[in-house]
Amino acid sequence: MNTVTLRKLHIGHGMPKVIVPIAEISREGILAMGKKLRPLNADAVEWRADFYDGLRDTDGVLSLLRELRSVLGDMPLIFTCRTAKEGGMADISDTEYAMLNTKALHSGYADAIDIEALSHGEHSNLLIRETRELGCVSIGSFHIMHMPPYAELVDTLDAIHRTGTDITKLAAMAASTEDALVLMGAARQAKARGVSPLIAIAMGEQGVISRILAELSGSDAVFAAASKASAPGQLSLGAMREILKAVHENIR
């Protein structure tokens, strides 16, 4: 089983890690949330830059990333710009997406870069390659606003894994508990085939079971909200911690 390290955090070993998103709109709100998160019991922070109302000011984004890095201290920081293609707030071109992520990567302020591995063609491939060359952790992600069939989910997980990113992440919207179980089954199959570390999420209220039973489905990390959720179905940080701990202690 592979393990990826973000500062002192080891993803792919032990209980699933809890990542808390910052999805505030303003600079002030983002930094205030960073200060709030620092003393809390989260494993890592994800800055969802696509929510930021100054996203098109690249210099401003990098300046804010630097400040957020300082505010968080030694807590691992993931930089994510989720595009409209995958249900995010950033309505930008492939070129703009690649340029923003490349600059965030070269800034050195992020411990990991979330890369939409299958949505931007050669732009994604070049970004993955450059992330590897610079020694930064890459999260290869793909988000689907419905739940595909089991075989398609397995193929998609394999496709992300083949891009060479360090962590494979797949999120799909669940319309029912059965949908969530299909995703969890596909995740278990992918994990058995060597896709690791892995993050597999069934989004929406009907997908909560995929977060609660993340360890049983082979998912190495989950997302939980300290304030504003970045995706439907996220539980609170405190509740997520307690549930994961209870499951972990009772399956050993």
Catalytic residues: 143, 169
221 sits in the region (left: phi over 0; alpha: psi -120 to 50; else beta) called beta
**What is the C-alpha to C-alpha distance for residues 37 and 26, in angstroms, rounded to an integer?**
16
Those residues whose C-beta lies under 8 Å from the C-beta of residue 35, and which sit 6 or more positions away, are: 71
**What is the C-alpha to C-alpha distance for residues 228 and 25, in angstroms, rounded to an integer?**
10
The first and second tokens of residue 220, run together, are 């190495």
Q: Which of 7, 105, 27 is nearest to 67 (CA)?
A: 27
**What is the C-alpha to C-alpha distance for residues 235 and 229, in angstroms, rounded to an integer?**
8
Q: Which run of H or E residues covers position 140?
A: strand 137-144
- Cβ(116)–Cβ(141) below 8 Å: yes
